[in-house]
Chain A
Amino acid sequence: MTEGTAPAWAVVATPVLLTLLAMAARSGDALLAAREAGRPVTAGAALRPLLDIPRLLAAQPRRTPVLDRLLWRTGVLVVPVSAVLSVLVLPLGHGAAPAGLSVGVVWFNAMEVMTWAGLWLAGWAPNAAFALVGGYRFLAQALAYELPLMFALIAPATAAGSLRVGDIVAAQHGLWFVVWMPVAFAAYLLAVPAFAFFGPLRYPAAPDIAGGVLGEVSGPDRLMLTAGRWLWLAAGAAMAVPLFLGGGAGPLLPGWAWSLVKTLAVLAALVWAGRSLPVIRADRYLELAWVVLLPLTIAQALVPAVVAMAG
Protein backbone atom coordinates (compact mmCIF):
# COMPACT_ATOMS: atom_id res chain seq x y z
CA MET A 1 0.00 0.00 0.00
CA THR A 2 2.39 2.66 -1.14
CA GLU A 3 1.55 5.92 -2.73
CA GLY A 4 3.15 7.56 -5.72
CA THR A 5 4.17 11.18 -5.65
CA ALA A 6 1.61 13.76 -6.63
CA PRO A 7 2.40 16.17 -9.47
CA ALA A 8 3.79 19.51 -8.35
CA TRP A 9 0.71 21.43 -9.49
CA ALA A 10 -1.39 19.55 -6.92
CA VAL A 11 0.14 21.73 -4.18
CA VAL A 12 -1.48 24.73 -5.87
CA ALA A 13 -4.61 22.98 -7.14
CA THR A 14 -5.72 21.66 -3.74
CA PRO A 15 -5.85 25.10 -2.01
CA VAL A 16 -7.55 26.61 -5.08
CA LEU A 17 -10.13 23.83 -5.07
CA LEU A 18 -10.70 24.28 -1.33
CA THR A 19 -11.24 28.02 -1.83
CA LEU A 20 -13.76 27.34 -4.61
CA LEU A 21 -15.59 24.88 -2.36
CA ALA A 22 -15.67 27.46 0.44
CA MET A 23 -17.09 30.06 -1.96
CA ALA A 24 -19.69 27.55 -3.15
CA ALA A 25 -20.70 26.90 0.46
CA ARG A 26 -20.99 30.64 1.12
CA SER A 27 -23.12 31.11 -2.00
CA GLY A 28 -25.31 28.15 -1.12
CA ASP A 29 -25.84 29.59 2.33
CA ALA A 30 -26.84 32.92 0.78
CA LEU A 31 -29.37 31.14 -1.47
CA LEU A 32 -30.92 29.39 1.53
CA ALA A 33 -31.06 32.72 3.36
CA ALA A 34 -32.76 34.34 0.36
CA ARG A 35 -35.36 31.56 0.22
CA GLU A 36 -36.02 31.88 3.94
CA ALA A 37 -36.46 35.63 3.66
CA GLY A 38 -38.78 35.30 0.65
CA ARG A 39 -36.36 37.09 -1.66
CA PRO A 40 -35.90 35.78 -5.23
CA VAL A 41 -33.47 32.85 -5.39
CA THR A 42 -31.30 34.01 -8.29
CA ALA A 43 -27.68 33.87 -9.38
CA GLY A 44 -27.33 37.41 -8.12
CA ALA A 45 -28.36 36.34 -4.63
CA ALA A 46 -25.73 33.59 -4.75
CA LEU A 47 -22.95 35.90 -5.90
CA ARG A 48 -23.73 38.83 -3.63
CA PRO A 49 -21.78 37.54 -0.57
CA LEU A 50 -18.70 37.17 -2.78
CA LEU A 51 -18.79 40.95 -3.29
CA ASP A 52 -17.68 41.11 0.35
CA ILE A 53 -14.20 40.10 -0.81
CA PRO A 54 -13.36 43.35 -2.67
CA ARG A 55 -15.44 45.35 -0.19
CA LEU A 56 -13.53 44.06 2.84
CA LEU A 57 -10.18 44.39 1.06
CA ALA A 58 -10.90 48.09 0.43
CA ALA A 59 -12.62 48.79 3.75
CA GLN A 60 -11.00 51.03 6.32
CA PRO A 61 -10.09 48.86 9.32
CA ARG A 62 -11.65 49.73 12.67
CA ARG A 63 -9.45 49.75 15.74
CA THR A 64 -10.06 49.15 19.41
CA PRO A 65 -8.13 50.87 22.21
CA VAL A 66 -5.04 49.10 23.64
CA LEU A 67 -5.27 46.18 21.25
CA ASP A 68 -2.52 43.63 20.64
CA ARG A 69 -2.14 43.97 16.89
CA LEU A 70 0.48 41.24 16.44
CA LEU A 71 -1.50 38.58 18.26
CA TRP A 72 -4.75 39.65 16.62
CA ARG A 73 -3.30 39.34 13.15
CA THR A 74 -1.64 36.03 14.03
CA GLY A 75 -4.91 34.59 15.29
CA VAL A 76 -6.88 35.83 12.30
CA LEU A 77 -4.36 34.33 9.85
CA VAL A 78 -3.88 31.01 11.66
CA VAL A 79 -7.51 29.96 11.06
CA PRO A 80 -7.55 30.06 7.20
CA VAL A 81 -3.90 29.04 6.82
CA SER A 82 -4.33 25.92 8.95
CA ALA A 83 -7.50 25.05 6.98
CA VAL A 84 -5.51 25.13 3.73
CA LEU A 85 -2.62 23.16 5.25
CA SER A 86 -4.99 20.51 6.60
CA VAL A 87 -6.20 19.39 3.16
CA LEU A 88 -2.70 18.91 1.71
CA VAL A 89 -2.80 15.30 2.94
CA LEU A 90 -6.00 14.51 0.99
CA PRO A 91 -5.62 12.49 -2.21
CA LEU A 92 -7.63 13.72 -5.18
CA GLY A 93 -9.52 10.63 -6.26
CA HIS A 94 -7.20 7.65 -6.61
CA GLY A 95 -4.13 9.84 -7.03
CA ALA A 96 -1.54 10.74 -4.45
CA ALA A 97 -1.89 13.57 -1.95
CA PRO A 98 0.16 16.76 -2.46
CA ALA A 99 1.89 15.98 0.86
CA GLY A 100 2.18 12.19 1.06
CA LEU A 101 2.57 12.27 4.82
CA SER A 102 2.45 8.86 6.49
CA VAL A 103 0.49 10.35 9.41
CA GLY A 104 -2.09 12.31 7.40
CA VAL A 105 -4.96 11.80 9.86
CA VAL A 106 -2.92 13.15 12.77
CA TRP A 107 -1.80 16.04 10.56
CA PHE A 108 -5.42 16.98 9.84
CA ASN A 109 -6.18 16.78 13.56
CA ALA A 110 -3.17 18.94 14.48
CA MET A 111 -4.11 21.61 11.92
CA GLU A 112 -7.70 21.61 13.20
CA VAL A 113 -6.41 22.13 16.76
CA MET A 114 -4.56 25.22 15.46
CA THR A 115 -7.98 26.91 15.32
CA TRP A 116 -8.03 26.72 19.14
CA ALA A 117 -5.05 29.05 19.23
CA GLY A 118 -6.27 31.17 16.32
CA LEU A 119 -9.77 31.81 17.61
CA TRP A 120 -8.72 32.38 21.20
CA LEU A 121 -6.19 34.96 19.99
CA ALA A 122 -8.77 36.53 17.66
CA GLY A 123 -11.07 36.87 20.66
CA TRP A 124 -8.48 38.03 23.17
CA ALA A 125 -6.29 40.44 21.22
CA PRO A 126 -8.80 43.21 20.34
CA ASN A 127 -9.26 43.96 24.06
CA ALA A 128 -13.04 43.98 23.73
CA ALA A 129 -15.47 42.21 26.05
CA PHE A 130 -17.72 40.46 23.54
CA ALA A 131 -14.84 39.27 21.40
CA LEU A 132 -13.16 37.91 24.53
CA VAL A 133 -16.33 36.07 25.53
CA GLY A 134 -16.41 34.60 22.02
CA GLY A 135 -12.81 33.38 22.31
CA TYR A 136 -13.50 31.67 25.64
CA ARG A 137 -16.74 30.22 24.28
CA PHE A 138 -14.77 28.58 21.49
CA LEU A 139 -12.43 26.92 24.00
CA ALA A 140 -15.39 25.58 25.98
CA GLN A 141 -16.86 24.24 22.75
CA ALA A 142 -13.48 22.85 21.72
CA LEU A 143 -13.18 20.83 24.92
CA ALA A 144 -16.56 19.32 24.02
CA TYR A 145 -16.03 18.41 20.38
CA GLU A 146 -12.35 17.46 20.37
CA LEU A 147 -12.35 14.06 22.07
CA PRO A 148 -15.34 12.58 20.19
CA LEU A 149 -13.69 13.88 17.00
CA MET A 150 -10.39 12.21 17.88
CA PHE A 151 -12.07 8.85 18.44
CA ALA A 152 -14.08 9.33 15.23
CA LEU A 153 -10.77 9.83 13.37
CA ILE A 154 -9.15 6.86 15.09
CA ALA A 155 -11.87 4.41 13.98
CA PRO A 156 -11.18 4.47 10.19
CA ALA A 157 -7.41 4.62 10.80
CA THR A 158 -7.66 1.49 12.96
CA ALA A 159 -9.69 -0.32 10.32
CA ALA A 160 -7.17 0.58 7.62
CA GLY A 161 -4.18 -0.14 9.87
CA SER A 162 -2.61 3.10 8.69
CA LEU A 163 -2.68 6.81 9.42
CA ARG A 164 -2.08 7.64 5.75
CA VAL A 165 -5.23 9.01 4.12
CA GLY A 166 -4.49 7.17 0.85
CA ASP A 167 -4.31 3.84 2.69
CA ILE A 168 -7.64 4.55 4.40
CA VAL A 169 -9.24 5.09 0.98
CA ALA A 170 -7.68 1.87 -0.32
CA ALA A 171 -8.95 -0.08 2.71
CA GLN A 172 -12.56 0.83 1.82
CA HIS A 173 -12.46 -1.14 -1.41
CA GLY A 174 -15.92 -2.69 -1.65
CA LEU A 175 -17.33 -1.49 1.66
CA TRP A 176 -17.32 2.14 2.73
CA PHE A 177 -16.48 2.78 6.36
CA VAL A 178 -19.67 4.82 6.79
CA VAL A 179 -21.61 1.52 6.53
CA TRP A 180 -20.05 -0.14 9.55
CA MET A 181 -18.89 3.00 11.42
CA PRO A 182 -22.00 5.18 11.32
CA VAL A 183 -21.45 6.49 14.86
CA ALA A 184 -17.94 7.68 14.03
CA PHE A 185 -19.27 9.33 10.86
CA ALA A 186 -22.03 11.10 12.79
CA ALA A 187 -19.61 12.27 15.51
CA TYR A 188 -17.25 13.53 12.81
CA LEU A 189 -20.02 15.43 11.02
CA LEU A 190 -21.04 17.00 14.33
CA ALA A 191 -17.46 18.16 14.94
CA VAL A 192 -17.08 19.85 11.54
CA PRO A 193 -19.45 22.79 12.26
CA ALA A 194 -17.87 22.97 15.73
CA PHE A 195 -14.37 23.72 14.50
CA ALA A 196 -15.81 25.89 11.72
CA PHE A 197 -17.85 27.77 14.41
CA PHE A 198 -20.75 27.48 12.01
CA GLY A 199 -24.47 26.79 12.14
CA PRO A 200 -25.73 25.25 15.40
CA LEU A 201 -22.19 25.54 16.80
CA ARG A 202 -21.63 29.20 15.94
CA TYR A 203 -21.79 29.87 19.69
CA PRO A 204 -18.34 31.64 19.72
CA ALA A 205 -19.58 34.03 17.03
CA ALA A 206 -23.23 34.11 18.04
CA PRO A 207 -25.50 37.15 17.63
CA ASP A 208 -26.20 37.30 21.40
CA ILE A 209 -22.64 38.57 21.95
CA ALA A 210 -22.66 40.85 18.89
CA GLY A 211 -20.72 38.43 16.74
CA GLY A 212 -18.20 37.35 19.41
CA VAL A 213 -14.84 36.57 17.78
CA LEU A 214 -16.14 38.22 14.59
CA GLY A 215 -17.48 41.27 16.43
CA GLU A 216 -14.51 43.62 16.29
CA VAL A 217 -12.48 42.37 13.37
CA SER A 218 -12.77 44.47 10.20
CA GLY A 219 -11.26 45.03 6.77
CA PRO A 220 -8.88 42.41 5.32
CA ASP A 221 -8.58 40.80 8.76
CA ARG A 222 -12.31 40.16 8.76
CA LEU A 223 -12.04 38.68 5.28
CA MET A 224 -9.36 36.27 6.53
CA LEU A 225 -11.34 35.16 9.59
CA THR A 226 -14.63 34.65 7.76
CA ALA A 227 -12.75 32.91 4.95
CA GLY A 228 -11.21 30.67 7.61
CA ARG A 229 -14.68 29.71 8.79
CA TRP A 230 -15.88 28.66 5.32
CA LEU A 231 -12.53 27.06 4.41
CA TRP A 232 -12.74 24.90 7.54
CA LEU A 233 -16.29 23.88 6.69
CA ALA A 234 -15.10 22.87 3.21
CA ALA A 235 -11.99 21.13 4.59
CA GLY A 236 -14.10 19.16 7.05
CA ALA A 237 -16.45 18.05 4.26
CA ALA A 238 -13.48 17.14 2.03
CA MET A 239 -11.89 15.02 4.78
CA ALA A 240 -15.14 13.09 5.41
CA VAL A 241 -14.94 11.65 1.88
CA PRO A 242 -11.65 9.68 2.12
CA LEU A 243 -12.32 8.78 5.77
CA PHE A 244 -15.82 7.37 5.48
CA LEU A 245 -17.21 7.64 1.93
CA GLY A 246 -14.71 5.62 -0.06
CA GLY A 247 -12.71 8.54 -1.47
CA GLY A 248 -12.86 8.57 -5.26
CA ALA A 249 -14.62 5.21 -5.58
CA GLY A 250 -17.67 5.14 -7.87
CA PRO A 251 -18.87 3.95 -11.28
CA LEU A 252 -18.28 5.65 -14.66
CA LEU A 253 -16.81 8.96 -13.50
CA PRO A 254 -13.07 9.32 -12.75
CA GLY A 255 -11.86 9.33 -9.13
CA TRP A 256 -11.37 13.08 -8.77
CA ALA A 257 -14.92 13.73 -10.01
CA TRP A 258 -16.41 11.33 -7.47
CA SER A 259 -14.33 12.93 -4.70
CA LEU A 260 -15.68 16.31 -5.72
CA VAL A 261 -19.29 15.16 -6.00
CA LYS A 262 -19.19 13.51 -2.56
CA THR A 263 -17.48 16.53 -0.99
CA LEU A 264 -20.13 18.83 -2.44
CA ALA A 265 -22.89 16.56 -1.13
CA VAL A 266 -21.44 16.56 2.42
CA LEU A 267 -20.87 20.32 2.24
CA ALA A 268 -24.44 20.93 1.06
CA ALA A 269 -25.79 18.81 3.91
CA LEU A 270 -23.68 20.74 6.44
CA VAL A 271 -24.76 24.15 5.09
CA TRP A 272 -28.42 23.11 5.03
CA ALA A 273 -28.22 21.73 8.58
CA GLY A 274 -26.43 24.89 9.70
CA ARG A 275 -29.37 26.96 8.48
CA SER A 276 -31.98 24.67 10.00
CA LEU A 277 -30.73 24.11 13.55
CA PRO A 278 -30.66 26.55 16.49
CA VAL A 279 -27.44 27.52 18.29
CA ILE A 280 -26.50 25.15 21.11
CA ARG A 281 -24.79 26.48 24.24
CA ALA A 282 -21.31 25.12 24.97
CA ASP A 283 -22.26 23.81 28.43
CA ARG A 284 -25.11 21.77 26.96
CA TYR A 285 -22.95 20.53 24.14
CA LEU A 286 -20.17 19.66 26.59
CA GLU A 287 -22.41 17.44 28.67
CA LEU A 288 -23.83 15.78 25.57
CA ALA A 289 -20.34 15.27 24.16
CA TRP A 290 -18.82 13.74 27.29
CA VAL A 291 -21.77 11.76 28.63
CA VAL A 292 -23.24 10.47 25.37
CA LEU A 293 -20.93 10.97 22.39
CA LEU A 294 -17.62 9.99 23.98
CA PRO A 295 -18.71 6.52 25.19
CA LEU A 296 -20.44 5.92 21.85
CA THR A 297 -17.35 6.84 19.82
CA ILE A 298 -15.11 4.70 22.05
CA ALA A 299 -17.45 1.75 21.53
CA GLN A 300 -17.38 2.52 17.82
CA ALA A 301 -13.56 2.56 17.77
CA LEU A 302 -13.64 -0.84 19.47
CA VAL A 303 -15.43 -2.38 16.46
CA PRO A 304 -12.61 -1.90 13.89
CA ALA A 305 -10.07 -2.74 16.61
CA VAL A 306 -11.72 -6.15 17.19
CA VAL A 307 -12.05 -6.71 13.44
CA ALA A 308 -8.37 -5.85 12.96
CA MET A 309 -7.35 -8.22 15.76
CA ALA A 310 -9.46 -11.03 14.32
CA GLY A 311 -8.42 -10.39 10.73
Chain B
Amino acid sequence: METLVFGCLAVTALTMGWLVFVLGSMARVTFALLAALVCVGGVTMLLGLPYLGVVLVLMTVMEMVIMAVFMIAYMMNPAGLMPMSMVHNRYGAMAIAAGVFLALAAGILLVPWPARPAGEPPADTTFQLGEALMGTQMLTMTVLGLVLLSTMVAAIVLATARGRYDRYGDRLERRVPRDPAAGGTGGAGR
Protein backbone atom coordinates (compact mmCIF):
# COMPACT_ATOMS: atom_id res chain seq x y z
CA MET B 1 0.00 0.00 0.00
CA GLU B 2 2.71 2.44 1.03
CA THR B 3 4.71 1.53 -2.05
CA LEU B 4 1.68 2.22 -4.23
CA VAL B 5 1.08 5.66 -2.64
CA PHE B 6 4.76 6.46 -2.93
CA GLY B 7 4.73 5.45 -6.61
CA CYS B 8 1.71 7.64 -7.36
CA LEU B 9 3.18 10.64 -5.53
CA ALA B 10 6.61 10.22 -7.13
CA VAL B 11 5.25 9.88 -10.66
CA THR B 12 2.90 12.87 -10.18
CA ALA B 13 5.73 14.97 -8.75
CA LEU B 14 8.01 14.17 -11.69
CA THR B 15 5.26 14.75 -14.26
CA MET B 16 4.33 18.09 -12.73
CA GLY B 17 7.99 19.07 -12.52
CA TRP B 18 8.36 18.27 -16.21
CA LEU B 19 5.21 20.24 -17.06
CA VAL B 20 6.79 23.34 -15.49
CA PHE B 21 9.08 23.51 -18.51
CA VAL B 22 6.48 22.54 -21.08
CA LEU B 23 3.42 24.61 -20.22
CA GLY B 24 3.05 28.07 -21.68
CA SER B 25 0.90 29.89 -19.13
CA MET B 26 2.65 31.46 -16.18
CA ALA B 27 -0.20 30.56 -13.82
CA ARG B 28 -0.24 26.93 -14.97
CA VAL B 29 3.54 26.74 -14.58
CA THR B 30 3.33 28.05 -11.00
CA PHE B 31 0.61 25.63 -10.02
CA ALA B 32 2.33 22.68 -11.70
CA LEU B 33 5.37 23.47 -9.55
CA LEU B 34 3.09 23.74 -6.51
CA ALA B 35 1.52 20.34 -7.27
CA ALA B 36 5.00 18.79 -7.56
CA LEU B 37 6.03 20.22 -4.19
CA VAL B 38 2.78 19.09 -2.53
CA CYS B 39 3.58 15.56 -3.75
CA VAL B 40 7.04 15.90 -2.18
CA GLY B 41 5.28 16.86 1.07
CA GLY B 42 3.23 13.67 0.79
CA VAL B 43 6.39 11.61 0.28
CA THR B 44 7.91 13.25 3.37
CA MET B 45 4.84 12.22 5.37
CA LEU B 46 5.24 8.66 4.08
CA LEU B 47 8.80 8.69 5.39
CA GLY B 48 7.37 9.04 8.90
CA LEU B 49 7.94 12.79 9.19
CA PRO B 50 4.35 14.11 9.39
CA TYR B 51 5.31 17.54 10.71
CA LEU B 52 7.85 18.25 8.00
CA GLY B 53 5.49 16.94 5.33
CA VAL B 54 2.48 19.04 6.37
CA VAL B 55 4.60 22.16 6.97
CA LEU B 56 6.13 21.71 3.53
CA VAL B 57 2.64 21.74 1.99
CA LEU B 58 1.61 24.74 4.11
CA MET B 59 4.66 26.83 3.26
CA THR B 60 4.82 25.97 -0.44
CA VAL B 61 1.15 26.81 -1.02
CA MET B 62 1.63 30.22 0.60
CA GLU B 63 4.86 31.06 -1.17
CA MET B 64 3.79 29.72 -4.58
CA VAL B 65 0.59 31.80 -4.55
CA ILE B 66 2.55 34.93 -3.61
CA MET B 67 5.16 33.99 -6.23
CA ALA B 68 2.44 33.66 -8.88
CA VAL B 69 1.42 37.26 -8.18
CA PHE B 70 4.97 38.54 -8.71
CA MET B 71 5.72 36.24 -11.65
CA ILE B 72 2.67 37.46 -13.50
CA ALA B 73 3.32 41.08 -12.49
CA TYR B 74 6.96 41.15 -13.63
CA MET B 75 6.89 38.99 -16.75
CA MET B 76 6.29 40.61 -20.10
CA ASN B 77 3.02 38.74 -20.24
CA PRO B 78 0.90 40.39 -17.56
CA ALA B 79 -2.19 38.22 -17.50
CA GLY B 80 -0.21 35.02 -17.97
CA LEU B 81 -2.72 33.94 -20.58
CA MET B 82 -0.40 34.26 -23.60
CA PRO B 83 2.00 31.39 -24.20
CA MET B 84 5.55 31.91 -23.02
CA SER B 85 8.44 29.58 -22.39
CA MET B 86 10.04 28.91 -19.04
CA VAL B 87 13.20 27.61 -20.73
CA HIS B 88 16.34 29.70 -20.98
CA ASN B 89 19.77 28.40 -21.99
CA ARG B 90 18.20 25.06 -22.89
CA TYR B 91 21.24 22.79 -23.15
CA GLY B 92 23.23 24.36 -20.32
CA ALA B 93 20.21 24.13 -18.02
CA MET B 94 19.60 20.51 -18.98
CA ALA B 95 23.23 19.61 -18.29
CA ILE B 96 23.17 21.33 -14.89
CA ALA B 97 19.85 19.72 -13.93
CA ALA B 98 21.02 16.23 -14.93
CA GLY B 99 24.32 16.76 -13.10
CA VAL B 100 22.63 17.87 -9.88
CA PHE B 101 20.16 14.97 -10.06
CA LEU B 102 22.96 12.43 -10.55
CA ALA B 103 25.04 13.94 -7.73
CA LEU B 104 22.10 13.82 -5.30
CA ALA B 105 21.13 10.29 -6.37
CA ALA B 106 24.75 9.16 -5.94
CA GLY B 107 24.66 10.75 -2.48
CA ILE B 108 21.79 8.46 -1.48
CA LEU B 109 23.92 5.43 -2.27
CA LEU B 110 27.33 6.67 -1.14
CA VAL B 111 26.62 8.43 2.17
CA PRO B 112 27.16 6.08 5.13
CA TRP B 113 23.73 6.47 6.76
CA PRO B 114 23.63 5.91 10.54
CA ALA B 115 22.05 2.58 11.42
CA ARG B 116 18.91 2.67 13.57
CA PRO B 117 19.76 1.21 17.00
CA ALA B 118 17.53 -1.82 16.51
CA GLY B 119 13.83 -2.22 16.27
CA GLU B 120 11.08 0.34 16.12
CA PRO B 121 11.27 3.81 14.58
CA PRO B 122 10.98 6.67 17.11
CA ALA B 123 7.44 7.36 18.31
CA ASP B 124 7.41 11.13 17.81
CA THR B 125 9.60 12.46 15.02
CA THR B 126 8.18 15.96 15.53
CA PHE B 127 9.60 16.04 19.06
CA GLN B 128 12.93 14.70 17.77
CA LEU B 129 13.03 17.39 15.11
CA GLY B 130 12.34 20.08 17.69
CA GLU B 131 15.09 18.77 19.94
CA ALA B 132 17.55 18.63 17.05
CA LEU B 133 16.75 22.19 15.95
CA MET B 134 16.41 23.81 19.36
CA GLY B 135 18.99 21.72 21.21
CA THR B 136 22.34 21.29 19.56
CA GLN B 137 21.55 23.67 16.70
CA MET B 138 20.09 26.44 18.85
CA LEU B 139 22.86 28.92 18.03
CA THR B 140 22.55 28.27 14.29
CA MET B 141 18.79 28.77 14.38
CA THR B 142 19.05 31.97 16.43
CA VAL B 143 21.63 33.45 14.06
CA LEU B 144 19.56 32.39 11.05
CA GLY B 145 16.47 33.98 12.57
CA LEU B 146 18.29 37.27 13.16
CA VAL B 147 19.73 37.29 9.64
CA LEU B 148 16.28 36.64 8.13
CA LEU B 149 14.66 39.32 10.27
CA SER B 150 17.27 41.95 9.41
CA THR B 151 16.95 41.05 5.72
CA MET B 152 13.20 41.58 5.91
CA VAL B 153 13.55 44.89 7.73
CA ALA B 154 16.20 46.07 5.25
CA ALA B 155 14.08 45.05 2.26
CA ILE B 156 11.08 46.92 3.61
CA VAL B 157 13.18 50.02 4.34
CA LEU B 158 14.50 49.93 0.76
CA ALA B 159 11.09 49.30 -0.75
CA THR B 160 8.89 51.73 1.14
CA ALA B 161 8.46 55.21 -0.24
CA ARG B 162 7.12 56.74 2.97
CA GLY B 163 8.95 56.74 6.27
CA ARG B 164 7.91 57.94 9.70
CA TYR B 165 8.92 61.56 8.91
CA ASP B 166 6.39 61.56 6.08
CA ARG B 167 3.78 60.17 8.39
CA TYR B 168 4.46 62.05 11.61
CA GLY B 169 6.05 65.29 10.24
CA ASP B 170 9.66 66.49 10.19
CA ARG B 171 9.82 66.79 13.98
CA LEU B 172 7.59 63.77 14.52
CA GLU B 173 5.17 66.30 15.96
CA ARG B 174 1.89 64.79 14.75
CA ARG B 175 0.13 62.59 17.23
CA VAL B 176 -1.92 60.89 14.51
CA PRO B 177 0.00 59.91 11.35
CA ARG B 178 -0.97 61.37 8.00
CA ASP B 179 -1.50 58.63 5.45
CA PRO B 180 -2.61 58.83 1.81
CA ALA B 181 -5.48 56.44 2.54
CA ALA B 182 -7.48 56.59 5.72
CA GLY B 183 -8.00 53.46 7.71
CA GLY B 184 -6.28 50.88 9.80
CA THR B 185 -4.84 52.23 13.00
CA GLY B 186 -3.82 55.60 11.52
CA GLY B 187 -5.89 58.76 11.34
CA ALA B 188 -8.12 60.05 8.61
CA GLY B 189 -6.39 61.07 5.38
CA ARG B 190 -5.01 64.50 4.63
Chain A residues near B (Cβ < 8 Å): 66, 68, 70-71, 74, 101-103, 106-107, 109-110, 113-114, 116-117, 120-121, 124-125, 127, 136, 139, 146, 163, 281, 283-284, 286-288, 291-292
Stretch from B60-68, B84-92, B101-109, B146-154 at the A interface: B60-68
Whether A288 touches B28, Cβ cut-off 8 Å, given contacts A113-B58, A117-B65, is: no
A283:B181 contact, CB within 8 angstroms: yes
Residues of B within 8 A of A107 (CB): 54
B181: chain A residues within 8 A (beta carbon): 283
- The CA-CA distance from A136 to B31 in the complex, in Å, is 16
Of all chain B residues, the one with the shortest Cβ separation from A2 is B123
Closest to A115 in B: B61
In the complex, chain B residues whose CB is within 8 Å of the CB of A136: 69
10 A-B pairs with C-beta separation under 8 A: A102-B126, A103-B51, A109-B58, A110-B54, A117-B34, A124-B27, A146-B62, A281-B183, A286-B184, A287-B186
Partner among A102, A287, A288 whose Cβ is within 8 Å of the Cβ of B124? A102
Minimum distance in angstroms from B130 CB to a CB of chain A: 10
Quick check: A163 and B183 within 8 Å, CB to CB?
A: no
Interface of B is mostly: helix
Bound-state CA distance A114–B59 (Å) is 10
Chain A: CB-nearest residue to B124:
A102
Contact A287 B184 (CB under 8 A): yes
CA distance A117 to B34 in the complex (A): 9
| A101–chain B nearest beta-carbon distance, Å | 6
Q: How far is the CA of A163 from the CA of B127 in the complex (A)?
A: 10
B22 interface hit (Cβ, 8 Å) = no
Closest to B56 in A: A110
A116 to B57, alpha carbons, bound, how many Å?
Answer: 12
Check A103 against B66 for contact (C-beta < 8 Å).
no
Once the chains are docked, how many angstroms separate the CA of A127 from the CA of B124? 47
Q: Provided the pairs A103-B126, A283-B181 are in contact, do residues A110 and B65 lie with their beta carbons within 8 angstroms?
A: no
A163 to B57, CA, bound (A): 16
B11 is an interface residue with CB less than 8 A from chain A:
no
Nearest chain B CB to A32 CB, angstrom units: 28
Closest chain A residue to B25 by CB distance? A68
A242–B181 alpha-carbon span in the complex (Å): 40
CB closest residue in chain A, given B61: A113
Min C-beta distance of A164 to chain B, whole Å: 10
B185 and A288 form a contact (CB under 8 A): yes
Contacting residues, chain A, for B57 (C-beta < 8 A): 110
Instruction: Determine whether the beta carbon of A116 is less than 8 Å from that of B185.
Output: no
